Amino acid sequence: MNVFIARPDSGRTEAEIPERKGSANSGKRETATARNMSEAEKSDSDDLQTECRRLQAQVDAQSMELNLLRARFARHEAALRGSQVIVYTQDRNLHYTSLSHAMLGRSIEDILGRTDEDILPRDAGQTVVALKREALTSGKAQRAEIALEDGQGVRWHDLHIEPLRNEAGDIVGLTCAAVDVTERKEGEAHLRLLLRELTHRSKNLLAVIQAMARQTARHAGSIEVFLDQFAARLQALAASHDLLVRESWYGASIGELIHSQLAVYIDRIDSQVALDGPAVALKPEAAQNLGLALHELANNAVKFGALSVPDGRVSISWNRREGEGGGVLQFDWRERHGPAVKPRRKQGFGSMVIERNLARALDAKIDLDFNPDGLHCHITIPASQLLAAR
């Protein structure tokens, strides 16, 4: 039996075979096109990813720079808050556009948008506005110290004014810094006062030393005696001045004044000097003159009175009595158990210092009694020579 096996294309016409070949070629072309498109899309995607990474890097860098700027701004703002410097800007019409601190008793919100004429006192405002107008016109920085009233008193400001320019270099406003220098100005005023006071006191001191030298020379019998007495009196004057300097020339308490002149006798174990009195302070000139009088009383007691013998005693007491004009201070120096006091034949330097100089300098009343039982000196000092308690 004969079997015939048909070939695959045996049932197709010759026209169908080229059509299939054409279809196969078209499929190959479509595959190549798709491959080419896929490669292009991949290239574009790679480019987009690269651009994204570049942009992200820029964003990260700008973000870091912004954080650094914020940190710097925060530090500068903290520094300004902790200082006495006020920084602000104004436009060409002098309207406030930014401000670091409240000032002149006004809040930042109350100042922004206003001008100097709105917030400054008239006289000071005219001076400040003139300076700022000059800076806008000339383009040069200006500086001045201005006193301004802020509701709590007058405050001094060191004002710095700088023209504010844009990128083109045109002046668009002002940048200003105001530094509170009130403490410095008050210190300068206090220093001037101290210098004037020092000059006045130096002249007074030189007059006292000159009078002391002249009177000592008049009563001294020789150069050696003059040098000894004059040196001792200078030391007494210096002791009073040391005490006043420690108190910044405010004054001196009577107890400390006495101790400065009689320390060598008061600090002994078997002290011959007794003190009794309340806390009372004298003005500087009164302390200086009473200190010299105490020196003369002590010097006389050592040479001729109670301190010249072991059993002698000196009692120093004081008390304040109220009355008209603020009352008075009663001061007593009383000697006991010393040699018999002889009547005074002439007025020496010590008596003159006590009776004449002290009375004149303090407007005091002096009663110097040469009692045979012991010298007694009673001094009445007006309240005008006393200081109020601090």
CA 292 vs CA 41, 157, 366: distances in Å: 111, 47, 15
Q: How far apart are the C-alpha atoms of 352 and 221, rounded to whole Å?
A: 17
Which has the closest alpha carbon to 337: 265, 250, 273? 273
Letter for the amino acid at 140?
Answer: K
Q: Which residue has the tokens 């120093």?
A: 316
CA torsion, points 96, 101, 105, 108, in degrees to nearest 10?
50
Which sign does the torsion angle of CA 16, 18, 23, 24 carry?
Answer: positive
Which sign does the torsion angle of CA 148, 153, 156, 161 carry?
Answer: negative
The crossing angle, in degrees rounded to 10, of helices 182-219 and 223-246 is 160
Which has the closest alpha carbon to 294: 272, 266, 322, 261? 261
Which sign does the torsion angle of CA 22, 28, 31, 35 carry?
Answer: negative
- Each of the 390 residues of the chain gets a pLDDT tens digit; together they read 444 444 444 444 444 445 554 555 555 555 555 555 566 666 777 778 888 888 888 888 888 877 776 666 566 665 556 567 888 999 999 999 998 888 888 888 999 999 998 888 888 888 899 999 999 999 999 999 988 887 778 889 999 999 999 989 999 999 999 988 989 999 999 999 988 988 887 888 888 888 888 888 887 888 988 898 889 888 888 888 888 888 777 888 999 999 999 988 888 888 899 999 999 999 988 898 899 999 999 999 999 999 999 999 999 999 998 877 678 999 999 999 999 988 877 667 777 778 888 888 888 999 999 989 999 999 999 999 988 755
Q: Which domains does the chain have, with CATH numbers?
A: 83-180 (3.30.450.20), 232-385 (3.30.565.10)
Please compute, for residue 33, the number of CA atoms within 13 A of its CA located in the half-sphere on the CB side.
Answer: 6
The tokens for 247 are 């108190």
Classify 236 in phi/psi space as left (phi over 0), alpha (psi -120 to 50) or beta. alpha
Beta bridge partners of 146: 157
Which sign does the torsion angle of CA 240, 241, 246, 251 carry?
Answer: positive
